[in-house]
Each structure stands twice: as C-alpha cells, then as structure tokens.
Amino acid sequence: MIRLESVSKHYEGAERPAVNEFSLEVAEGEVVVLIGPSGCGKSTTLRMINRLIEPDSGSLFLGDDDVRTLRVEELRRGIGYAIQGVGLFPHWSVRQNIGTVPRLLGWDKPRIEDRSRELLELVGLDPERYLEAYPDELSGGEAQRVGVARALAADPPVLLMDEPFGAVDPLTRDRLQREFLDIQRRLRKTVVFVTHDIDEAVRLGDRIAIMRDGGLVQYDIPERVLAYPADEFVAEFVGAERALKRLSLAGLRSVMRPQSGDCGIDPSVGVNANLREALSRILEVGEGALDVVAEDGCLVGRVSIEDILAHFQRPVA
C-alpha cells in the first residue's frame, strides 16, 4: 500500500543525511510503527510520505502511484494526518476542526455535520457536548481524540500519525492506545505511526521499523523484534525487560492447560490476562502454578511457570 524505495533526505547544513537510502513496504490494513532515538529520521520519513518534506532522491508510492505524480494538496487530502494535540486549530470549534478536510473536499454542510457526529462517537466523545467546544476547553486526552477524529474525517485509506499520544499522562495514553486498537480493528486503515515509546510500539504495531541514523535497522513483527533483536543497538533500545514485554504480547488462553471445575476459586487468574500478568500473579501467590478462571469465575484451566517458560522458549515464527 505504501512503498518507500531508497529514499534519502539531507537537510542543508546538517552533518549527515536525516534519512539515508531508506526502503520500507507497508501492507494494506497494517499498522507500522517507526521508532528510534531522537534524530533517527522517523519524523522526516513520515513527512516525506505526504510530501511535507520532499526527498532528495528515491521514490515513494501510495498504492501504485508515485506520490510526486499527484498534486500535493490532493495527495494530502487523501491521507489522514494526526499530530500532537497542539495541531488543532485554536480558533475553530471541534466541529470545524473535524470538518477541515471535508470542507476542502467540498462536502456539503449536513454531510460534514453527520460525519463529525459519527466520528466523535467513534472516538468516544459525546457529540452533544463536544461538537461546539473549542480546543482550549479540552483536556489533553480529549484533544488527542479530536485529532484522531479529524484525521479520519474524509475516510482516508491511509493514516499518518506523528506521536499522536505524546502529550498526555500515562493513564490517558493507555486508554487512548486501547481505543486506537479498537478503532483500527474495525476500520483496518493502513497506518504509519511514529513514536519514541517502545511499549507503545509493541502494543500498537503490526510491524515495528527500528531506525537509527536515518537507516532501517530492523523491520519485523513485535514478537520477533523482542525475541531476536538484530543487533546490540536494538537489544538495548527495546530494553532489559524485553522478555517481559514479549510475555505481554501472548494471551493466557493459548498457553494454559484446559480443565473444568468449580466456580468462585481463589487464588486464580482471569483467562483474558496476558502471560506477563499471569506470571506476575503466580509470583505473587508463590505456588508455581495457578488456576485460570473465566469471566463468570468458573475454572477453565491451569497454568504453571513451566508452561510459561516453555512457551517463551518456543521459536517465534
């Protein structure tokens, strides 16, 4: 869906290129997270896709079209763009902000209004309450939600998100991420997402592209990035806790040994937990193994530290 071929960008006066011979393919309906330390070129790469920055060399394709063959405004109107909350227009209400691209595309008023309501509901904000609010009346989390709604307004197949959840507290960010996954499961957009937070990358990305000094170091699914870091740099970047991060990606359901039995068991762990949470609970209880219960509190299986270890040692496909 999105293809970058040997793209380079060297800013005037900079010592080395910001992006250097960078190639990447993003499949339709996937979330690809660009991540790396400051100055690695992730934001530059993102902005070259909607031509906010023009590459010095290389080609970028959106579907089958070279982005340079499209009129730049047309290109951008067809791509959702979400940045940190400050990108909302302060002199426009939420309704006007969300309607930005639809207005540029010449939609009529009722259609824009309906769409704005629909999107506010999608991002979990009550239209009656928020449609006429102004950005300075919104909390950080609300502003980010409106930013996402605005990016989705014209229903673009592709979304570019530049640290859209960067400026909020951890609790709000957690909720925003969960909602994002929820929305993405329904809409199946092709998303390129920039962050510097590895936990966010692991959680949201179908694939993670780790960048360093303008180049691609590793491009893989989160489990494999965590299990098989390409080099020292990646290993260090994903952090010492990478084993635990991997556990958080695996659900308990596929690892436990199914059983059936009584209800109202304690101590126990819920079947929807991930392996990291299950391990934590096992360590807490201190018995090496624990009963697994369904939402109704009835026994559905049992999991032990050995099971988790065995799962962990299986190669990641």
Partner 1 sequence: MSESLAPGALRPGAISTARPSGSRFSAHKIGVSALVLVAISLMLPFASVSHSRIATGQSLQVWDVLDLLGIAVLSAPWAVVLVGSIFRPRSRMSSAMRGGAAASSVVVWMLVSGAAAGPAVQRVGPYARYSLGAGVWLAGFAAFALIISARRELGLGTVPGWVVTLLAPVGIAIAAAMGSLDDLGILVEYHNLGQRFWPSVGQHITYSASSIIVATILGVGLGVVAYRFRRASAPIFSVVSAFQTVPGLALIGILVAPMAALSYAFPALRRIGVGGLGWAPVVLALTLYALLAIVRNTYAGLASVPPQTVEAGRGMGMTSSQVVRRVQMPLAAPVVFSGVRTASQQTVANATLGAFVAAGGLGPLVFFGLAQQANDLVVLGSIALVALALTVDGLMRGLQYLVTPKRIREHMR
Binding site for partner 1 (CB under 8 A): 47, 50, 52, 73-78, 81, 83-84, 86-93, 100-101, 104, 124-126, 129-130, 133-134, 136-139, 141-142, 145, 150, 160, 172
Question: In the complex, what is the shortest distance from the CB of residue 263 to partner 1, in angstroms, rounded to a whole number?
Answer: 32
Question: In the complex, what is the shortest distance from the CB of residue 109 to partner 1, in angstroms, rounded to a whole number?
Answer: 16
Which residue's CB is nearer to partner 1, number 90 or number 286? 90
Question: In the complex, what is the shortest distance from the CB of residue 130 to partner 1, in angstroms, rounded to a whole number?
Answer: 7
Q: Which long-range CB contacts under 8 A does 118-123 form with residues at least 24 apart? A: 119/149, 119/152, 119/153, 120/94, 120/146, 120/149, 122/149, 122/152, 122/183, 123/148, 123/149, 123/179, 123/183
d(CA 247, CA 278): 9
Which residue's CB is nearer to partner 1, number 92 or number 233? 92
Q: What are the CA-CA distances from residue 163 to residues 84, 201, 316 (Å)?
A: 6, 11, 29
Question: In the complex, what is the shortest distance from the CB of residue 170 to partner 1, in angstroms, rounded to a whole number?
Answer: 14
Question: In the complex, what is the shortest distance from the CB of residue 87 to partner 1, in angstroms, rounded to a whole number?
Answer: 4
Which residue's CB is nearer to partner 1, number 106 or number 286? 106
Which residue's CB is nearer to partner 1, number 19 or number 160? 160
Which residue's CB is nearer to partner 1, number 150 or number 276? 150
Question: In the complex, what is the shortest distance from the CB of residue 142 to partner 1, in angstroms, rounded to a whole number?
Answer: 6
Which residue's CB is nearer to partner 1, number 83 or number 278? 83
Cis geometry, peptide bond prior to residue 267 (ω within 30 degrees of 0):
yes
DSSP string, 40-73: SSHHHHHHHHTTSS--SEEEEEETTEEGGGS-HH
Which residue's CB is nearer to partner 1, number 20 or number 93? 93
209's enclosing H/E stretch is strand 207-212
| Maximum distance among all Cα pairs of the chain, rounded to whole angstroms | 71
Which residue's CB is nearer to partner 1, number 171 or number 240? 171
Which residue's CB is nearer to partner 1, number 78 or number 215? 78
Tokens encoding 298: 């009835």
Question: In the complex, what is the shortest distance from the CB of residue 213 to partner 1, in angstroms, rounded to a whole number?
Answer: 24
Name the amino acid, one letter, at 288.
Answer: G
Nearest to 253, CA basis, from 199, 311, 177: 311
Question: In the complex, what is the shortest distance from the CB of residue 294 to partner 1, in angstroms, rounded to a whole number?
Answer: 28
Question: In the complex, what is the shortest distance from the CB of residue 164 to partner 1, in angstroms, rounded to a whole number?
Answer: 12
Look-up of token digits 């530059």? 44
Instruction: Measure CA of the first residue to CA of the last residue in the chain; give whole Å.
Output: 24
Name the amino acid, one letter, at 309.
Answer: L
